[in-house]
Structure 1
Amino acid sequence: SHELRTPLNAINGFSEIMAGEMFGPLGDQRYKGYAADILKSGQHLLSLINDILDMAKIEAGKHVLHYELVSLQEISEDAIRLMRGKVQEAGLVLSLEAADDVPEIEADHRGCKQVMLNLISNAIKFTPEGGEIVVRLTRPDVDYVRVAVADTGIGIAAEDLARLARPFEQVENQHSKTTQGTGLGLSLTKSLIEMHGGALAMDSEPGRGTTVSFDLPIHRSVPAAAEPQRKAA
């Protein structure tokens, strides 16, 4: 993984310095624009590489969850802050609705944040300008918390829903032609949720938007590999 990430981090770092003109003007403004394009492409490539490496570790049984007390509200707020630039660029509205009775849970902080970023990123990709995305946190019963990401996007046909969570699967439509990805984001998200003892659920209708939800246990009572999976309603 270092052989892939290290040279790309150098490209991203130096292109960011050039785009920001940290050591003085580059001269022709086109150079600044080219540096910004290199940075954007490099960041996208790094994201794809990270997804592929993470999926490979999960499939090889080498991905380990590091449990600690985490606040899903704080993770959601952090994810929303990180995605704010993309949300504004896409002309969307992104908000958080959290119930008062949602407690901290025992979970892997990095994994939960990765799940939130993936789900919000997917919603942004497939929601046209002027649309809305809402992240909702609730507690459906005493043992679980529920996270739902709902958008007013293009929606997904029923026949496509089942295969979307499989690796490298994507839905082809007019809007998706303007987006980029490996088709690993949702599959990786599903795997991380299942490792926590939860399950992913999708509800969608073409032209009316999509809601992706999952339940996570509040307490880790047994080892992750042996935890029964709960189906989100």
Structure 2
Amino acid sequence: MLNASATPGTGSSLMGEYAALVADAVLRQRAREAEHSARVEAELASKVKSEFISNMSHELRTPLNTVIGFAKLISECERRRLSGGQIVEYAGLIHDAATHLLAVINDILDISKMQSGKYTLDAREVQLPEILQSSLAAFGQNATDLGVSIESRFDPDVPAVRGDPGKLRQVFNSLISNSVKFTPPGGSVHVGASALPDGGAIVRIRDTGVGMTKEEIAVALTPFAQVDAGHSRWREGAGLGLPIAKALVQLHGGKLEIRSAKSLGTEVAVTLPSRFKVSILQGRDVVLGSGGHRDVSDGHHATRD
């Protein structure tokens, strides 16, 4: 007669071996997933790098070719018998190309600082109406030349906010410039500011321009991405203006939101808290908008609340 009783400890030994096998399988699966994730991330980084190099090559070479070409013409003015008016015209084109080139380089430097986590804010009390008036004055003549009217209305109770005046001006310059640029002759741009119940402020920039779909908004807020040719003006330059504007607003503890409809225009709403703990989003987060952040470690250029 066979004895069916198990040897003491055999059951627990088998269970232990089974648990070890399961744990090993889980670890192997996790390792495969981590390897796949790393490979996908590396491929994405390579693609972004390739697109960046291609885009930057165009954005840097085009104005440089303009500068070189017209500078050569001016240097040969006697042989070519250029008139004074032609020389002035060519000098103006050189100036415009160089200004565009400088703007592209500044955008690249801004993104580089954000990606390295070294972007700081010089926070102080800011009166938003003053910043907005400055931005409106900068683009008033351009709007007039394009046949676009600009209207503004600032509520008297708009509170002061804490922020970096230069960076906030950069945000509103970019947004107002886009609105003017994409509004056809006879259209209008309205800029308003009002108080929020929590003590913060909201700035709305609304235009009667070409408008965008939700998909085009997402593309417009993605660094280096390109929209279709019909709306390429949203991506003039290095394609960094709107992403940088959104990142700067986030660094101020605020939000930048875009509402738009094709052929009906666009409204950009920027909300800013009255006070915030100055922080720097991690490079990948601040550029791509995933929302992570860390505190500023150097208090010399950033005030904490």
Do they superpose with TM above 0.5?
yes
Taking a change above 3 Å as real, the CA distance of residues 112 and 68 of structure 1, as seen in their structure-2 partners, is same
Please give the alpha-carbon distance, in whole angstroms, between the structure 1 residues aligned to 2:157 and 2:227.
36
Q: CA RMSD in A?
A: 2.4
Shift of 1:152: 0.3
Label 1:43 to 1:59 Cα distance change in 2 as closer, same or farther (>3 A): same
Give the structure 2 partner of residue 224 of structure 1. 279
1:76, 1:96 within 8 Å by CA — same for their partners in 2?
no
* Residues 108-146 of structure 1: per-residue CA shift (max 9 Å, x gap): 111100000000111122111111111110112132100
Per-residue displacement from partner, 1:19-49 (whole Å, max 9, x unpaired)? Answer: xxxxxxx953111111111111111211121
Question: Which residue number in structure 1 is paired with residue 194 of structure 2?
Answer: 138
- CA 1:180–1:148: 2 relative to 1, 3 Å: same
Distance 1:70 1:87 in 2: 26
Instruction: Provide the C-alpha distance between the structure 2 equivalents of 1:126 and 1:181, rounded to a whole number of angstroms.
Output: 15
Correspondence list, 1:17-166, <5 A: 27-166=83-222
- TM-score, normalised to structure 1, is 0.81
Q: Is there any run of 5+ residues in structure 2 with no aligned partner, and where? A: 1-59, 75-81, 282-290, 292-305
> 4+ residue runs of structure 1 moved beyond 4 angstroms?
none
2:264 maps to amino acid: R
Question: Partner letter of residue 156 of structure 2?
Answer: D
SS of 1:35's equivalent?
A: helix
Structure holding more strand per residue: 1
Change in Cα spacing, 1:57 to 1:178, as seen in structure 2 (3 Å) is closer
TM-score of the superposition, structure 2-length normalised? 0.63
Counterpart for residue 199 of structure 1: 255
Asked whether the 8 Å contact 2:157–2:194 carries over to 1, the reply is yes
Determine which structure has more spread, i.e. the larger CA radius of gyration: 2
Tell me the number of residue pairs that the alignment of Structure 1 and Structure 2 aligns: 206
Q: Which residue matches 1:21?
A: none
More helix by share: 2
Which sections of structure 1, spanning at least 5 residues, go unmatched? 19-25
Which string of whole-angstrom CA distances, capped at 9 and with x for unpartnered residues, describes residues 203-230 of structure 1?
Answer: 000000000111101123x34249xx8x
**Alignment-derived partner of residue 23 in structure 1:** none
Supply the distance in 1 between the matched residues of 2:234 and 2:88 (Cα, whole angstroms): 24
